[in-house]
Structure 1
Amino acid sequence: MNRRPTLLAALTLTAAAALTLSACGSDDSSKDKDNDKIAGAETGGKKSPSPTAAASDSGDRPKITFPSDAKNVFEDQKTGDAAKDAVLADSALSVNSVDEAIFEGNTDTKALGFYNTGKALESSITFAQQYIDGGDTWTGVTRYYDYKVTLSGADKAYVTYCSDESKSYVKDRKTGKVDRSPATADSYVLYNTTLTKNDQGVWQTTNIASNGGDKACQP
């Protein structure tokens, strides 16, 4: 039930090999978009601010909203290090921005290009467009956990984390029908990401690689 399939997995981290990250993966195997989401409500188009987005929005940062039947939960966001916490906050907003594009049915959202750039932005647009072209969205709750942050100077960082997508599901945008396929090992995904701090102080995701079914993320 892996809702972040081949598209993001196809990207590689150009500098990840230089760091002793706990694990890394680039899985280019085909994973159906149907095996993408985690359990939650099936109804509602009413939107409410994402908890993480609402807490981090300030100044000129775009507001990110989710429908009432979908939620991302981000664990391990407070490390005690202000610099690392800022990286994690924007990393979560990057994830939320991709999902918001799916919910909106539009990849021209302000947040998508605000929190993602370069290869990560290109792949995120293509990934969201797969949902849009297929007439799909998603419902439920996705959990992100086991974060590890490595700073490289003042303007670059590497973040690894896992996602639990066993309780989120693909939903037909028109009919509202939810595909509640059972969870598999691929419902647990390892991500390796690179973020760069721009002139506005935003940590933008520039590269991302994922590995569905990675042992490091299994329950």
Structure 2
Amino acid sequence: MTRLLTIAVATTTAALLLTGCGGGDSGSKGNDKIAGAGTEKSASASPTASAAAGRPKISFPSDASNVFEDQKTGDAAKDAVLADNALGVNSIDEAIFEGKTNTKALGFYNTGRALSSAITYVQGYLDKSDTWAGTTRFFDHRVTLSGRNGAYVTYCSDESKSFLKDRKTGKAQHTPTTADSYVLYHAKLAKNADGVWQTTDVVSNRGDKACQP
């Protein structure tokens, strides 16, 4: 699938850009996809949020899912970063599914430039009455910690099995797989006072060679 938009924020750091997919510490929409109104929702989107107080529950329609690979590194701090990064990705897709940009999860897991970019991204789908269906795979996660409260994550997405879908008609666009079905993401995260790793900045590159099969 080729999505309508790619999450991108103007600024990042040199350390973030020097990290790439394809190896290193193992650990997803960025999200250029879209999902359907009127579909039955599953109990929650994978991965499951931890039991920390105040964490919002994230739900997906039954015909859409995100699959995150490389989520266990053996390092508790890195695993926590990866878990919240994945939930941040899911929160953006949930906003698309819900058809609104003010969902609780979106502002819970994203802040600063990342939140502004996510709102613009979601609104782009809503303006076109689009959503998505299928499965998006996130892989080749690499985590770099920066002090106690900072982290960078790079990862790839495979959108070859997820498709744009018209929100009104429910018709999916089963487009062929191309190089643009794969996206490289660089995310910057910061741990807030409640211990949540929020995404603060994201840069993506659709069709990046580092993510091609």
Same fold (TM over 0.5): yes
Q: How many residues align structurally?
A: 202
Q: Paired residue for 1:141? A: 135
Residue 179, structure 1, aligned to residue 177, structure 2 = no
Residue 113, structure 1, aligned to residue 86, structure 2 = no
Counterpart CA distance in 2 for 1:156 and 1:108 is: 26
Q: Secondary structure at the match of 1:166?
A: strand
Letter in 2 for 1:21: T
Q: Secondary structure at the match of 2:123?
A: helix
Counterpart CA distance in 2 for 1:210 and 1:173 is: 25
Residue 12, structure 1, aligned to residue 16, structure 2 = no
CA contact under 8 A between 1:158 and 1:193: conserved in structure 2? Answer: yes
CA contact under 8 A between 1:69 and 1:140: conserved in structure 2? Answer: yes
Q: Paired residue for 1:51? A: 46
CA contact under 8 A between 2:182 and 2:208: conserved in structure 1? Answer: yes
Structure 1 residue 112, shift from structure 2 partner: 0.1
Q: Paired residue for 1:62? A: 56
Q: Which moved more, 1:56-65 or 1:80-89?
A: 56-65
Letter in 1 for 2:45: S
Q: Secondary structure at the match of 1:170?
A: strand
Structure 1 residue 10, shift from structure 2 partner: 4.5
CA contact under 8 A between 1:69 and 1:139: conserved in structure 2? Answer: yes
CA contact under 8 A between 1:37 and 1:166: conserved in structure 2? Answer: no
CA contact under 8 A between 1:37 and 1:140: conserved in structure 2? Answer: no
Counterpart CA distance in 2 for 1:43 and 1:107 is: 15
CA contact under 8 A between 1:74 and 1:145: conserved in structure 2? Answer: yes
Q: Paired residue for 2:3? A: 3
* Mapping for residues 202-213 of structure 1, pairs under 5 Å: 202-213=196-207
Q: Secondary structure at the match of 1:183?
A: coil
CA contact under 8 A between 1:102 and 1:128: conserved in structure 2? Answer: yes
Counterpart CA distance in 2 for 1:117 and 1:47 is: 26
Structure 1 residue 18, shift from structure 2 partner: 6.7
Structure 1 residue 86, shift from structure 2 partner: 0.2
Q: Paired residue for 2:183? A: 189
Gaps of 5+ in 1: 24-35
RMSD: 2.1
Q: Secondary structure at the match of 2:83?
A: helix
Structure 1 residue 20, shift from structure 2 partner: 4.2
Query: Structure 1 length as normaliser, TM-score?
Result: 0.86
* Mapping for residues 112-131 of structure 1, pairs under 5 Å: 112-131=106-125
Q: Secondary structure at the match of 2:168?
A: coil
Query: Structure 2 length as normaliser, TM-score?
Result: 0.88
